[in-house]
Amino acid sequence: MLNIKHLNKLKSQMNHQTLIAVTKYVGDDEIEALIQEGITDFGENRVNVFQEKYQKYSNTEITWHFIGHLQSKKVKKMINDIACLHALDRMSLAKEVEKRRIDPLPCFIEVNIANDPNKYGLKKEKVFEFYNKIKDYDKIDIVGFMGMAEHTDDEVIIRKNFQVLVDLKAEFDELYSKSHKLSMGMSNDYNIAIEMGATHLRIGSYLYEEE
């Protein structure tokens, strides 16, 4: 069930960020409640579930973000139905998007800011090389960087993780004379993400958990 109190609290803390409501574990009731509350940006991380929801809500004003790891073989099934890809992390995926996408797709380069071998995303030192390989692709519009901080209550660690993206943004803004966006901040750390300049928040459990 949608927690209206949490949603309103989140809205009050935001400063022009885009709120992406993650629908991984929720159904129609929660989605419809979010729509009633004026939320238009939704995020999914599973292709099959995304396709079901996309079809069901095709007559709404929903803007769909794909926020999970995307297998190259599944790109053709959904790449022209999303408005933004938050997990561009390798050349094989970039090539498939370039091949299958009809018009330019806003994409975030995913960075492994927690330096966790079990997480997806490029290492920080590989981002520049990857960026330059794909920056001239016709169907990929690199709008910024995405990352997930370590799941911990230690704010020092979270801030250190997010700082990787903040530094990348500053470097690339200067190099390419373009303001890049930052997709960072989830249910457990969105407050810190907002403070550090996030432009897109990917919020799931906080919107639905009971008091």
Q: Which residues contact 71 (CB under 8 A, 6 or more apart)?
A: 47
Tens digits of residue pLDDT in 54-80: 999 998 999 999 999 999 999 999 999
| H helices present in 101-147, as ranges | 127-134
What is the rounded CA–CA span in Å between residue 20 and residue 203?
6
Q: Which residues contact 88 (CB under 8 A, 6 or more apart)?
A: 94, 97, 107, 108, 109, 110, 134, 140, 142
Per-domain residue ranges for the chain? 4-208
Tens digits of residue pLDDT in 117-126: 889 999 999 9
What is the rounded CA–CA span in Å between residue 159 and residue 184?
11
- Picking from 45, 106, 98, 54, the residue whose alpha carbon sits closest to that of residue 76 is 98
Give the CATH class of 4-208: alpha beta
The reported pLDDT for the residue numbered 209 is 82
The reported pLDDT for the residue numbered 118 is 87
Is a pLDDT exceeding 70 seen at residue 211? no
Tens digits of residue pLDDT in 189-205: 999 999 999 999 999 99
